Chains A and B, each alone.
Chain A
Amino acid sequence: MELIWRIVWVAGYVLLAPLLGGLLAGFDRKISARMQGRKGPSVWQPFYDLFKLFKKQSVVVNNVQDFLVYGFLLFIVFTGGLFFFGGDILLVFFALTLAGIFFIMSACSANSPYSAMGAQRELMQMMAYEPMVLLAAIGFYISTGSFSVMDIIAAKESAIGYLPGIFVGFLFILTIKFRKSPYDLSTTHHAHQEMVKGLTTELSGNILACVELSHWYENVFLLGVVGLFIVNSTWWSWIVAVAVILVSYFLEILIDNVFPRVKWQNMLKTTWAVTLVAGVINLLILTMIK
């Protein structure tokens, strides 16, 4: 019985995450527009864009790009699927890293100056956020005694009670993962900047649509991890979790609109500093009381 439920969760993720992710992107554009005093497009605009991209002929620079981008999509879906299946959170994050490397390789294979720059920057971003991601997994393990997502959500108390510092740190790196300013170093939605489109410069048509789709899947998964900090064995914790997720996402949009992009040096230093201060100190205290 339990297994069936877990499979339903995975199926739900695979089928509904694009819808949710697309809607999030739509609201993101709407809210950003309002913050900037514009009206903004319809919340369905991201879907129109995606469908149009899928219809276009793909223009590629070589024959392996599509393979690597499909790999990225596949492993992002795999990551999210494993997470919603209730699997091992460390393995989930390892799969996420693998997906990220497929994406970087697609840019490296292009032999193009803007892609190459984006690839190096993306790699730098990964190096910046990786310690915090691992720390979050360790935090869950110490506070609930298990790496398994199934066990973490069945805990009596919410993990955030033990992990306030790690939660803050995780929100911090979420800015990098959502590709939001000030940490949108490797690629961005606005194609008029010094790096053109960075990582995705050489991707177009249905391949670019795959990248967009992967990001939606990824965003829903990441917000799921935010929810994991809140959910416990009580039913109302799920409602709180949804509320916290929405507030977190709004916060990311706000940060995106308030801060200008920084240099990578700044990103690396601040992210690692936050990891050390918020994350490691939290961990120290946690090992003392647990």
Chain B
Amino acid sequence: MPMIAFLIVFPFLAAFTLAFMKRHGKGRKYFIFACCIAIVAGVVWFAADALIGGGDLSLLPETKAIDMGILAAEIGLMGLIVFYGFRFRKYYVALLSVAQTGLIAWLELTGKNEIAGNRIFSDKLTVIMVLIVGIVGCLICVYAVGYMKDYHARHKEYEDRRAFFFAMLFVFLGAMFGLIFSSSLTWMYFFWEITSLCSFLLIGYNRTQEAVHNSFRALWMNLLGGLGFAVAIVYAALVLHVSTLQDLVAMGSGTTVAIIPVILLAFAGLTKSAQLPFSGWLLGAMVAPTPTSALLHSATMVKAGVYLLIRLAPAMCGNLAGTMVTTIGGFTFLATSMLAISQSDGKKVLAYSTVSNLGLIAACAGVGMHEAVWAGILLMMFHAVSKSLMFLSVGAVENSIGSRNIEDMHGLIVKLPEMAFVMIVGIAGMFLAPFGMLISKWAALKAFVDSKSILLVVFLIFGSATTLFYWTKWLGKLVAMIHNSERLPNTVKGSEWFSLISQAFLMIGLCISFPFVSTYLVEPFLADMFHETLPAIISSGNLYIMLIMLCAIVVLPIAVRFLTFGKKRKIVMSYMGGANAGNDRAFVDSYGKEKPMYLANWYMEEYFGEKKLLKPSLILSTAALLVLMTIAIGGAV
């Protein structure tokens, strides 16, 4: 219990202190490092304690005083949003905020929400989430220290508000911890709103017109989800007399009595995890400095959305809420992975890939079956680590070569070999056997087939093919070997390196240790959730085979060196029809002039471009969402 309080409160205190540390220097840097160490130590301690001690925790049944404090803070948040809404003349934002906070305040103040129930809850899923948020989140904070210095050195035009920036990062972590530990819906909602507001402030960091525009888009979409959340709370309290998520899910499993709040909460989860048609806010978040994107995409924010969906899984199994989530999630997986093919901006590819992967996780949660949820949780873990790794390395490459376009990463393995290595680990973790994500995709496929949802199977098989395409072509750019290339000076700072290397090793470690993670964390959680134990989802025989593959990949480079040792090879220039201009970078054209050679990847704008696909996807998904929600809610009323 003290550890839970520490994890929730400490980041806020750290943020408060950081907000006043305006001087740039060693002091602030070491203060951030110290806070990160404290948080990581805290989560590791908490996880170890929970694993050794076993059991789940339910705490604080009666907390009138804290409830009122939270309400006051919520009204404060509303004030802030209304202020920004008026200042930038986005009145609809103020309206959305007032509507939902008004609902909650009314519920609390009239005493209609005084229902017995624990405010705090912790089980194995909590442990997993705490580890993700704590470790990945803190590594991003460490990275941010070095990155922001470079960022402001390169962008003199932006006002330097680093103190505010770092404070917001820690607020985000605190809010995530709060969200994860809360069982009470009103508490959850409070932390949910903090993450919405926080992402709004972080996206708008630059204060350019684009940043302001995108931050408001993020705000209104998340507030819309928040409105759904608030209505769900009111309905659950007034009609069903439950105030905690655990009770709601228990009530909703197997029946449809709780379908209205469940579907509204699922809707909130979909907006937060940027599913179509709400993907726009996450793509717009690119304008912010890289640590923001990394944080939003990997450890926090979008993970809050899928976390809620996973919690709701038993209550969505086999009903219309589940159908809604699987349809939207599956469709998002396919549509955004196709859109990613047409993008050459590294961050944009990553953004689309995040939305796409979250779609798959949402679909897994929506299926609501044992093995599907297993796949969803593992996907979430692998995705958090590999996506954060990818974002941070793209940011580091951008600081080194001045571009984050994938085309400009041609030959990175010669120019910045360490950077390329880290990126290759990240990309391999995203889609290749025998690494990470693929294992969960495999389980997901099995679950979709078992649940007989043909539509999902179709989304998954085509989505896998398109995913393969955009990652492999990126990988191909990295490994191109150009003759006589100079190595670029490695300008990446120590703290950034530390963060990148730790995450690369975390990724590799997770790939090797995932059977243990599955046995000790995921499977006990699922056994509680579904009140049954299933045989291992991936048999031990297959695990050994994958281990052999992993070893083969590691041993291969060494074996090949031995095989080719002492053999004479001739190194030549690449073939250009005999028209090489003395090297493999240029050729002699038909006028006898030297022309530089440029090898581009395929983007196929006319087939997969945003112009072609985005609008139909948005229309289709909006229609599906509206129709399914209307049928579900109409049917229940």
A interface vs B, CB < 8 Å?
A: 57-64, 66-67, 70-71, 74-75, 78, 82, 87-88, 90-91, 94-95, 97-98, 101, 104-105, 108-116, 119-120, 123-124, 126-128, 130-131, 134-135, 138, 141-142, 147, 196, 201-202, 265, 272, 276, 280, 283-284, 287
Contact between chains at B557 and A108 (CB < 8 Å)? no
Task: Determine the residue in chain B with the shortest Cβ distance to A94.
Answer: B433
What does the 1/0 interface line of B434-452 toward A look like (CB < 8 Å)? 1000100010011001001
Task: Determine the residue in chain B with the shortest Cβ distance to A286.
Answer: B454
Give CA–CA (A105, B557) in the complex, Å: 14
What does the 1/0 interface line of B449-490 toward A look like (CB < 8 Å)? 100101001101110111011001101110111110000000
Query: Which of B477, B570, B607 counts the most A-chain CB atoms under 10 A from its CB?
Result: B570
Residue in B469, B559, B572, B597 whose CB lies within 8 Å of A127: B469
Contact between chains at B570 and A59 (CB < 8 Å)? yes
Give CA–CA (A96, B531) in the complex, Å: 38
- Closest chain B CB from A72 CB (angstroms): 11
Within 8 A of A (CB), among B548-587: 549, 552-553, 556-557, 559-560, 563-564, 567-577, 584
- Closest chain A CB from B429 CB (angstroms): 13
Give CA–CA (A101, B427) in the complex, Å: 12
Task: Determine the residue in chain A with the shortest Cβ distance to B574.
Answer: A112
CB-CB under 8 A from A276, the residues of chain B are: 458
Give CA–CA (A277, B472) in the complex, Å: 28
Residue in A95, A116, A124, A201 whose CB lies within 8 Å of B599: A116
Does B626 reach chain A (CB closer than 8 Å)? no
CB-CB under 8 A from B576, the residues of chain A are: 112-113
Contact between chains at A127 and B466 (CB < 8 Å)? yes
What does the 1/0 interface line of B522-565 toward A look like (CB < 8 Å)? 00000000000000000101100110010011001101100110
Does B322 reach chain A (CB closer than 8 Å)? no
Contact between chains at B442 and A90 (CB < 8 Å)? yes
- Closest chain B CB from A271 CB (angstroms): 10
Does B411 reach chain A (CB closer than 8 Å)? yes
CB-CB under 8 A from A114, the residues of chain B are: 575
Contact between chains at A61 and B572 (CB < 8 Å)? yes
Nearest first, the 4 A-B pairs at minimum CB distance are A112-B574, A108-B476, A94-B433, A130-B465
Given A67-B557, A111-B574, A127-B469, also A142-B449 (CB < 8 A): yes
Residue in A58, A67, A123 whose CB lies within 8 Å of B469: A123
Within 8 A of A (CB), among B184-224: none
Task: Determine the residue in chain B with the shortest Cβ distance to A129.
Answer: B465
Contact between chains at B574 and A138 (CB < 8 Å)? no
Other 18 A-B pairs with CB < 8 A, given A58-B567, A95-B433 = A59-B570, A62-B483, A74-B556, A91-B545, A98-B433, A108-B476, A108-B480, A111-B480, A111-B482, A113-B576, A126-B465, A126-B469, A126-B472, A138-B457, A265-B607, A276-B458, A280-B458, A283-B457
Contact between chains at B433 and A91 (CB < 8 Å)? yes
Task: Determine the residue in chain A with the shortest Cβ distance to B558.
Answer: A67
Query: Which of B479, B549, B557 counts the most A-chain CB atoms under 10 A from its CB?
Result: B479
CB-CB under 8 A from A130, the residues of chain B are: 461, 464-465, 468
CB-CB under 8 A from A97, the residues of chain B are: 432-433, 468
17 contacts between A and B (CB under 8 A): A58-B569, A59-B571, A70-B560, A87-B541, A88-B542, A88-B545, A91-B542, A94-B434, A97-B432, A98-B433, A105-B479, A109-B480, A115-B574, A127-B466, A131-B461, A265-B607, A272-B462
Contact between chains at B433 and A124 (CB < 8 Å)? no
CB-CB under 8 A from A126, the residues of chain B are: 465, 468-469, 472
Contact between chains at A67 and B560 (CB < 8 Å)? yes
CB-CB under 8 A from A91, the residues of chain B are: 433, 442, 542, 545-546
Does B92 reach chain A (CB closer than 8 Å)? no
Give CA–CA (A119, B479) in the complex, Å: 12
- Closest chain B CB from A26 CB (angstroms): 28
- Closest chain A CB from B59 CB (angstroms): 43
Query: Which of A60, A112, A201 counts the most B-chain CB atoms under 10 A from its CB?
Result: A112
Contact between chains at A109 and B468 (CB < 8 Å)? no
Contact between chains at B549 and A57 (CB < 8 Å)? no
Give CA–CA (A62, B569) in the complex, Å: 10
Give CA–CA (A110, B473) in the complex, Å: 14
Does B58 reach chain A (CB closer than 8 Å)? no
Does B498 reach chain A (CB closer than 8 Å)? no
Residue in A82, A101, A131, A141 whose CB lies within 8 Å of B432: A101
